[in-house]
Amino acid sequence: MLIVMKHLATQDQIDCVVKFIEKKGYTARPIPGGERVSIGILYNKGSVDASLFQNLPGVKEVIPITRPYKQVSREFKPEDTIIRIGSLTIGGKDLTIMAGPCAIESEKQAMTIANHVVKSGAHIFRGGAFKPRTSPYSFQGLGEEGLKILAKVRKETGMPVVTEVMDFQTFDIVEEYTDIIQIGTRNMQNFSLLRRAGKAKKPVLLKRGMAATIEEWLMAAEYILEEGNSQVILCERGVRTFVNHSRNTLDISAIPVVKKESHLPIIVDPSHAAGIRDQVAPLSLAAVAVEANGLIIEVHHAPDEALSDGAQSLYPEQFDLLCQKIKTMHSLFTRQ
């Protein structure tokens, strides 16, 4: 249930409603908005009687929340969440492009790719330092050294960085170095990791589990918001299906559904969805067409020598061309 306060409601009236909710044995969660404050009621077992709150001073309306996820739902917060990283914003009408290699392999490799993608118009640099690999014999990432390289990339290029956190043990160090904390598909339902991310002071990029329904994905995001971190970016990265013409199947219809259900920004990862370089550009354009808030794309200057995901990494020239198309297409949506 959501209690929407009147535009001119006083702080005293807001406090009184919060106290009233708590006296009834529920948890009150005030949400400051641009126009007015709303107060969410959480941890109610069963339905809450709306008439209890309707006539309290300062209350405009009482809205029932019908979804299992509360704080991530549009019912709870109708306006888009905009995430700020320095002067960059993610969400709303913006289209944010994140690009870089699958894994940080060396300073030279990272800087080479970063210099290419920043020139093409990427806003954020991606690169894994701790890699979740299917085989224990595959390259596992440079660990802390990789994080240090990411910090250098940020310093040299001005791009904020995003990198994956795989576990509780390395959370603090990843949080220290990165601007956006990525939680990968394999950890989408690692609930203790989600709770830790909810305590972080940095935005979280939450990828969809490869076999997760939209409801399970939004419930995973709910864990992060419930712990106090409302800066969550959702990322559709393809789901497992029976096909073998691509690594995963990009669930393009998830974007309009999530945008309707949730106020959180949603971006698309065409690289892990496709697994094959040739499909990355068309899927990126499809993502722009359905008004995703951004893209995260793997790029490598020498994909044949890449230590992971070379087959799906774009050459810098391909990325450059794609960025031009993306920007042209996006401008169609933002033209007044």
Query: Is 140 one of the binding residues for ligand PEP (CB under 6 A)?
Result: no
Q: Which does 247 bind (CB under 5 to 8 A by kind): Mn ion, ligand PEP, none?
A: none
Q: In Å, how far are 1, 10, 59, 151 from 53, measured between CA atoms?
A: 10, 16, 7, 50
Q: Are 18 and 38 in contact (CB under 8 A)?
A: no
Which residue has tokens 């690692």? 190
Residue 296 host element (H or E)? strand 294-298
Which residues within the stretch 232-261 sit at the binding site for ligand PEP (CB under 6 A)? 237
Q: How far is the CB of 272 from Mn ion (least distance, A)?
A: 6
Neighbouring C-beta atoms of residue 81, cutoff 10 Å: 19
Query: Is 277 one of the binding residues for ligand PEP (CB under 6 A)?
Result: no
Query: Is 143 one of the binding residues for ligand PEP (CB under 6 A)?
Result: no
Among candidate residues 281, 271, 196, the one with its CA nearest the CA of residue 236 = 271
Query: Is 146 one of the binding residues for ligand PEP (CB under 6 A)?
Result: no
Q: Which does 209 bind (CB under 5 to 8 A by kind): Mn ion, ligand PEP, none?
A: none
Q: How far apart are CA 187 and CA 333, in angstroms?
A: 34
- For ligand PEP, which residue of 38, 178, 185, 293 counts as binding (CB under 6 A)? 185
Q: Which is nearer to ligand PEP, 70 or 247 (CB)?
A: 247
Query: Is 198 one of the binding residues for ligand PEP (CB under 6 A)?
Result: no
Which residue has tokens 């393009």? 252
Q: How far apart are CA 89 and CA 324, in angstroms?
A: 20
Q: Which residues bind Mn ion (CB under 5 A)?
A: 102, 309
- The token duo for 191 is 């609930």
Query: Is 102 one of the binding residues for ligand PEP (CB under 6 A)?
Result: yes
Q: How far is the CB of 308 from Mn ion (least distance, A)?
A: 6
Query: Is 272 one of the binding residues for ligand PEP (CB under 6 A)?
Result: yes
Q: Which is nearer to Mn ion, 102 or 233 (CB)?
A: 102
Q: Which is nearer to ligand PEP, 4 or 104 (CB)?
A: 104
Query: Is 154 one of the binding residues for ligand PEP (CB under 6 A)?
Result: no
- For ligand PEP, which residue of 128, 160, 203, 303 counts as binding (CB under 6 A)? 128
Cβ contacts of residue 141 below 8 Å, gap of 6+?
Answer: 103, 104, 128, 129, 130, 131
- For ligand PEP, which residue of 132, 143, 275, 310 counts as binding (CB under 6 A)? 132
Q: Which is nearer to ligand PEP, 225 or 297 (CB)?
A: 297
Q: How far is the CB of 230 from ligand PEP (least distance, A)?
A: 22
Q: Which is nearer to ligand PEP, 75 or 298 (CB)?
A: 298
Q: Which is nearer to ligand PEP, 312 or 318 (CB)?
A: 312
Q: How far is the CB of 184 from ligand PEP (least distance, A)?
A: 3
Q: How far apart are CA 70 and CA 53, in angstroms?
A: 19
- The token duo for 328 is 């042209």
DSSP state letters, 158-216: ---EEEE---STTHHHHHHH-SEEEE-GGGTT-HHHHHHHHT-SS-EEEEPPTT--HHH
Count of chain residues binding ligand PEP (CB under 6 A)? 10
Q: Which is nearer to ligand PEP, 40 or 270 (CB)?
A: 270
Say which amino acid occupies 323. C
Query: Is 312 one of the binding residues for ligand PEP (CB under 6 A)?
Result: no
Q: How far apart are CA 221 and CA 206, in angstroms?
A: 7
- Applying CB under 6 A, the residues found at the interface with ligand PEP are 102, 128, 132, 164, 184-185, 207, 237, 269, 272
